[in-house]
Amino acid sequence: MSRFEGVSVTVTGAAGVLGMAVAQAFQAEGASVTGIDIVETETPFPLCKADLIDFEDARRVMREIGRINVLANIAGGFTMGDTVETTSNETWDFMYNLNARTVFNTVRAVVPQMVERQRGKIVNVGALNALSGVGRMAAYSASKSVVIRLTESLAEELKSKHINVNCVLPSIIDTPRNREDMPKADFSTWVTPQAMAKVVLFLASTDADPIHGAALPVTGLA
């Protein structure tokens, strides 16, 4: 029997490189996968369109999906280049909304049903750069640090209800966009989306039942 046979998994940001890898990894392990994204594209699993920055839309799409045993919050993004004093309100809000508010909204929409069943797994995506401030990355680092604190708070609130909440902290993921932005880097030291997906699946599995509130660095050789 496959590890996630009969398990209903929802993956946010499922049209992106990492989200697609995570969704396909769950599917290969027998899960019933539903993706969520703000864009529409062809996927080998059902993909629902929703704006997760809008709580009402997040709640709407979660109700339409129905039972969710595992929520993988992969939606997010990255921008850099501005110093703190030159960071605009637009950039700050964009990073906060994309990386933190989407997680905040999805968990608020999903946790009640998990509490009712007294079972569930939530895996969020933070970032290694969320552990300390980095020059010209303040908005990104701050938004991802919020994800870590949300993960820890949720884990403390939900562990007695047999709901695990953890997050992964990738360094640099080997995506076409990152290769384009950093063409002189040694790509072999980066973490592949498929390797990241394996870590997400571990945290969503019964093997991770004793783990609550972890922020797990996934750095490859970088």
Query: Residue 81: pLDDT above 90?
Result: no
Digit-coded pLDDT (tens) for 21-31 = 999 999 999 99
Confidence (pLDDT) at 80:
76
Mean pLDDT of the chain: 97
Q: Which residues are catalytic?
A: 140
Q: Tell me the pLDDT tens digit for each residue of 40-75.
A: 999 999 999 999 999 999 999 999 999 999 999 999
In the block, tokens 């401030």 appear at 133
What is the torsional sign of CA 37, 106, 34, 60? Answer: negative
- Give the residue-averaged pLDDT of 139-160: 98
Per-residue pLDDT at 22 = 98
Task: Taking residues 128-155, report their average pLDDT.
Answer: 96
What is the pLDDT confidence band of residue 187, given thresholds at 50, 70 and 90?
Answer: very high
Please give the pLDDT value at position 79: 86
Q: Distance (Å, rounded) from C-alpha 162 to C-alpha 178?
A: 37
Return the pLDDT at 3. 96
Rounded mean pLDDT, 143-151? 98
Handedness of CA 22, 151, 110, 157 (dihedral sign): positive
Q: Provide mean pLDDT across the span 107-128.
A: 98
Taking residues 132-154, what's their average pLDDT?
96
Dihedrals phi, psi of 12, to nearest 5 degrees: -85, 155
Give the CB-side neighbour count of residue 43, counting CA atoms within 13 A: 26
pLDDT at residue 18 tops 80: yes
- Per-residue pLDDT band at 181 (split at 50, 70, 90): confident
Instruction: With a cut of 70, say whether residue 1 has pLDDT above it.
Output: no
Report whether pLDDT(200) > 80.
Answer: yes
pLDDT for 128? 97
Compute CA distances 132 → 119, 128, 137, whole Å: 33, 8, 10
Bridge partners, 163 (sequence order): 120
What burial class does residue 33 get, using C-beta atoms within 10 Å of its C-beta: 0-12 exposed, 13-18 middle, 19+ buried?
Answer: buried
Q: Is residue 20 pLDDT above 70, yes or no? A: yes
